[in-house]
Amino acid sequence: MSLEPHVQHRILAAYNARRSGGPRATLVAARRNRRTLASVRRLADGRVRLNVARAVVSAGPEAWDLLGPALQGSRDARKRLARLSRKGLKAAARAASEPGKAPGRNGRNPAPLPDTPCQGSQHQQQVLQRIVQWARSTSGHAEAFPDHLQLRVSRRMSSTYGSHMTRGGTHRVTITHRLFRAGLEDILLDTVLHELAHLLDALTNGRGRSFHDASWRRWCRRLGATPDRLMSPTSARRVRRARGEDAPCALPAAVARWAREESP
Ligand SMILES: [Zn+2]
C-alpha cells in the first residue's frame, strides 16, 4: 500500500508532535502486518522510519494522534489505537468491495463540489480566511484539516448562519454575510468554529457525515467552539438587531492578536 504524500506528511506530523522521547521519524511506510500496529525502525543510513499497519492508516487522524503515546508504552493509547484500527479496517474493506462508492454514502458516487464564487466582499473573504488559518495553526490539529477547503460567504443564506459540505474529496464551509458586521465578531468566530468542527468530525469519524453528537462535541472542544446545536437566544437577537448596520467587522480579538504576532 503506497501512501499519498499528504497522508505521509500528516501521519508523520501527528507522530512527531505527540511523541515524548523516542526518535523523530522522517519516513513512513504502510504495512500489511496486522499484529504489530506500529513500530519505529532506524535504517542503515541513520534515518528513522515509522511503520504503520494499513488499518492504522485507514483509521484516520484520531488514530494517528495515538501513535506517539502508543509507541512510548501508553497502554491506554495502545488499546484505543487497536479499537480505532479495527474500525478503520472495516471501513477500508467496505470501500474496496464497492469500487466507485465513497464509504457512508449509500450507492452514490458523489461528484466534487463545483467551484462556485464567494459572494462576500474582499474584506469578508479575508476575515474568513484569517479565522480558518488561525484555527488551523493554533488548535494543535493542523494535520486533520484538509489541504483544500473552499471558504464561502453567502448573501442568500438567511435562516441559518453557517453550513459545511464534503463531497467527492472536496470540502466547503459557508457562512452567511449577516455575521460580518461590527460587533458580531465573537458570534462569527463561534459559527466558523462550529462548522469547522463538523467538517473535521465528518473527515475523521469514519461515517463521512457529522451530527451534533459526542464526536462533534469533541471537535468543538478541541477548536474552542461552543458545543451547542443552536445559537443562544441572546446571540440570535444580536444578529437580528445588527441587520440595519453595515459597518464591516474587524478580526475577532484572539485572531487579531495571533495575526499581529505572525506578521509584526
Ligand atoms: Zn451544526
Q: What is the 3-state secondary structure (H, E, C) of 172-211?
A: EEEEEHHHCECCCHHHHHHHHHHHHHHHHHHHHCCCCCCC
Q: Are residues 227 and 146 in the same domain?
A: yes
Does residue 59 sit in the same domain as residue 148?
A: no
| Same-domain pairing of 134 and 257 | yes
Counting the structural domains of the chain, the total is: 2
- How remote is the CA of residue 2 from the centroid of ligand 1, in Å? 35
Would 13 be classed as within a structural domain? yes
pLDDT tens string 204-231: 998 888 999 999 999 999 999 999 999 9
CA of 60 to the centre of ligand 1 (A): 22
Q: How far is the CA of 165 from the centre of ligand 1 (A)?
A: 11
Please tell me the predicted confidence (pLDDT) of residue 86. 82
Ligand 1 centroid distance, CA of 245 (Å): 26
Q: Are residues 131 and 244 in the same domain?
A: yes
Check whether residue 74 and residue 143 sit in a common domain.
no
Q: Which of 41-50, 144-153, 190-199 is the most confident on average?
A: 190-199
**Residue 91 pLDDT greater than 90, yes or no:** no
Domain assignment present for residue 144? The answer is yes
Do 153 and 246 fall within a single domain?
Answer: yes
236 found inside a domain: yes
Which phi and psi angles does 191 have, rounded to 5°?
-70, -40
Q: What is the structure's pLDDT at 1?
A: 57
Shared-domain flag, residues 153 and 90: no
Residue 22 lies in a domain: yes
Identify the pLDDT of residue 44.
86
> Does residue 106 fall inside a structural domain?
no
Cα-to-centroid distance, 158 and ligand 1 (Å): 15
Domain residues for 76? 5-97
Q: How far is the centre of ligand 1, averaged over its atoms, from the C-alpha of 44 (Å)? A: 50
Domain holding 226: CATH number? 3.30.2010.10
Distance from residue 230's CA to the centre of ligand 1 (Å): 7
From the CA of 194, how far away is ligand 1's center (Å)? Answer: 6
Which of 156-160, 200-204, 206-210, 238-242 shows the lowest mean pLDDT across its residues?
156-160
Last-in-domain residue among 80, 97, 114: 97
139 and 184 in a single domain? The answer is: yes
In a domain, 138, yes or no: yes
For residue 50, how far is its CA from the centre of ligand 1 (angstroms)?
Answer: 36
Whole-number pLDDT of residue 104: 43
Between 251 and 166, where is the model more confident? Answer: 251
pLDDT at residue 190 tops 90: yes
Has residue 85 been placed in a domain? yes
pLDDT for residue 162 is more than 90: yes
- One domain for residues 53 and 172: no
**Helix 214-223 and helix 185-204, axial crossing angle in degrees, nearest 10:** 130
170 Cα–ligand 1 center, Å: 19
Is the pLDDT assigned to residue 248 strictly greater than 50? yes
Q: How far is the CA of 222 from the centre of ligand 1 (A)?
A: 15
The pTM of this model reads: 0.60
SS3 of the chain: the string is: CCCCHHHHHHHHHHHHHHCCCCCCCCEEEEECCCCCCEEEEECCCCCEEEEEEHHHHHHCHHHHCCHHHHHCCCHHHHHHHHHHHHHHHHHHHHHHHCCCCCCCCCCCCCCCCCCCCCCCCHHHHHHHHHHHHHHHHHCCCHHHCCCCCEEEEECCCCCCCEEEEEECCEEEEEEEHHHCECCCHHHHHHHHHHHHHHHHHHHHCCCCCCCCCHHHHHHHHHHCCCCCCCCCHHHHHHHHHHHHCCCECCCCHHHHHHHHHHCC
What pLDDT digit, counting tens, does each position of 49-81 carry?
988 888 888 788 888 888 888 888 888 888 888
Mean pLDDT throughout 244-261?
Answer: 88
So what's the pLDDT on residue 157? 83
Residue 114 included in any domain: no
pLDDT value, residue 245 = 58
Q: Are both 57 and 133 inside the same structural domain?
A: no
98 C-alpha to ligand 1 centroid (Å): 30
